[in-house]
Structure 1
Amino acid sequence: MELNFTILIELLGTFAFAISGIRLASGKHIDWFGAYIIGLVTAIGGGTMRDLLLDVTPFWILDSKYFITTGVALIATLLFKDKLFKWGSTLFLFDTIGLGLFTIVGITLSINAGLPLWVCIVMGTITGTVGGVVRDVLLNEVPLIFRKDIYALACVAGGGIYFACSYFNLPTDITEIIAASTVIVLRLVAVKFHLHLPQLQALNNKSKDN
């Protein structure tokens, strides 16, 4: 049951991230295949980086369901594009959902690998954010993780909640739901109320005359 629930989270996260990638690609005059590739790298980029750091075979090499799920996301986007694309918050919402779900996947897999708490949180953050970074770089956008919005910090907070729930011996499924919801809600609230870290101000490098 626990394993099946983790797989469900993975598939939902893959679908959500793929939609966010395809949605962003739609404004870049990219063909269907290009949109599929953007959706795919958005969905598997973070997990691939995580697996490489853990020195294991990247997950998508062992299972084709991530490719199929991305294809389903592309078809859904093409069929319902009028409803999806006229909704200005589509990219943000799907990216936020994917962020929360994939953060938990990364944490869970790291726990199963016997890694310490702080490494699990880092791996969860990498799993949740790197795919979006690759997507934005390929589409010539400033990655969300480098903007002033709360993004990676939401993953860290979700990781903290995950281990807090584990400390109180909550069931794993409930812990994963609460932690993923924490990431999603924190990101939604931060954007809704314009909560963010201070921006780094430009340094004054004016040379002085001798």
Structure 2
Amino acid sequence: MTLSVAIEMAGVAVFAVSGALAAGRKSLDLLGVVVIAMVTATGGGTLRDLMLDRTVFWIARPEFIIVTGIAALLTIPYVRFARPPERFLMVADALGLALFSVAGARIALGTGQGALIAVVMGTITGAFGGVLRDVLCNEIPMILRKGHIYATASIAGCSLLVILLGLGVSGGVAAAAGMATVAVMRFGSIAFNLTLPVFNLPGPKDPEA
């Protein structure tokens, strides 16, 4: 198993957990939990592979589907009998974002893409599954919530990965640094409510003012 596959396998498992938690909060049935978990875990990687004209990763390696199902099914008893802490979903999502972003960027580089495309593909891989999860659960996607550091963290981690690889740093060290960057930025946003500046367009002036 290559490093990229191992990272993506871990990302699939963590994102499946976040999908199952989101489905549990909406009181979905067993099938609903598994579907949301599957969509969350595979959505970003599927879009990435279609855009890169690759065989979709879970078709090429069906064990990804097995890992997703196991992670979702193991989460169900916990969701059913114990209410997770309010921020537990965000923590699971942050871990999935870190793992998937770096895996996506590495895969794009492995197909011969340049640094910019690698960063874009890493961000898509990390963020798109969560977007699908939130849309299906009738929530505002985290990537669109006002001021949240989400895609920014993915961009920063993928950019660091690309820079370190360009400087000749080993793949394992570069991947670890990239994942740590994404995770630290996302956890910092969650723990300290860090946000990006918000752009507000002033409304029309009151002609009577």
Q: Pick from 79, 86, 89: which aligns with 1:88?
A: 86
List per-residue Cα deviations over 1:14-67 (Å, max 9, x = no partner): 011011111011121211111101011101101111111112221112221121
> Which amino acid is 1:110 matched to?
A
Q: Is the 8 A contact 2:143 2:151 kept in 1?
A: yes
- Shift, 1:80, TM fit: 3.1
TM-score, scaled to structure 2: 0.91
* 1:64-79 equivalent positions in 2, closer than 5 A: 64-79=62-77
List per-residue Cα deviations over 1:121-176 (Å, max 9, x = no partner): 00000000000001111111000111121000101100121122213322111111
Equivalent position of 2:125 in the other structure: 127
C-alpha change, 1:49 and 1:208, in structure 2 (3 Å) is farther
> Which amino acid is 1:64 matched to?
P
CA distance in 1, matches of 2:45, 2:10: 14
Equivalent position of 2:158 in the other structure: 159
Q: Pick from 101, 104, 107: which aligns with 1:106?
A: 104
> Which amino acid is 1:151 matched to?
Y
Equivalent position of 1:191 in the other structure: 190
State the number of aligned residues.
207
Equivalent position of 1:39 in the other structure: 37
Which consecutive unaligned segments of at least 5 residues does structure 2 have? none
- Shift, 1:6, TM fit: 1.9
Equivalent position of 1:116 in the other structure: 114
- Shift, 1:82, TM fit: 6.5
List per-residue Cα deviations over 1:77-97 (Å, max 9, x = no partner): 123337863322210111000
Q: Is the 8 A contact 2:148 2:194 kept in 1?
A: yes
List per-residue Cα deviations over 1:87-131 (Å, max 9, x = no partner): 222101110000000001111111011111111000000000000
> Which amino acid is 1:71 matched to?
G
Q: What SS does the aligned partner of 1:80 have?
A: helix
Equivalent position of 1:11 in the other structure: 9
Report the aligned-residue RMSD.
2.0
Moved over 4 A (4+): 205-209
> Which amino acid is 1:46 matched to?
G
Q: What SS does the aligned partner of 1:121 have?
A: helix
Which consecutive unaligned segments of at least 5 residues does structure 1 have? none
Q: Is the 8 A contact 1:77 1:84 kept in 2?
A: no
TM-score, scaled to structure 1: 0.91
Q: Is the 8 A contact 1:84 1:90 kept in 2?
A: no
CA distance in 2, matches of 1:121, 1:83: 40
CA distance in 2, matches of 1:205, 1:130: 36
> Which amino acid is 1:85 matched to?
R
The sequence identity of aligned pairs, in percent, is 36
Q: Is the 8 A contact 1:23 1:85 kept in 2?
A: no
- Shift, 1:202, TM fit: 5.9
C-alpha change, 1:185 and 1:83, in structure 2 (3 Å) is farther
C-alpha change, 1:80 and 1:175, in structure 2 (3 Å) is same
Equivalent position of 1:48 in the other structure: 46
> Which amino acid is 2:203 matched to?
N
Q: Is the 8 A contact 2:43 2:128 kept in 1?
A: yes
- Shift, 1:206, TM fit: 8.6
Q: What SS does the aligned partner of 2:2 have?
A: helix
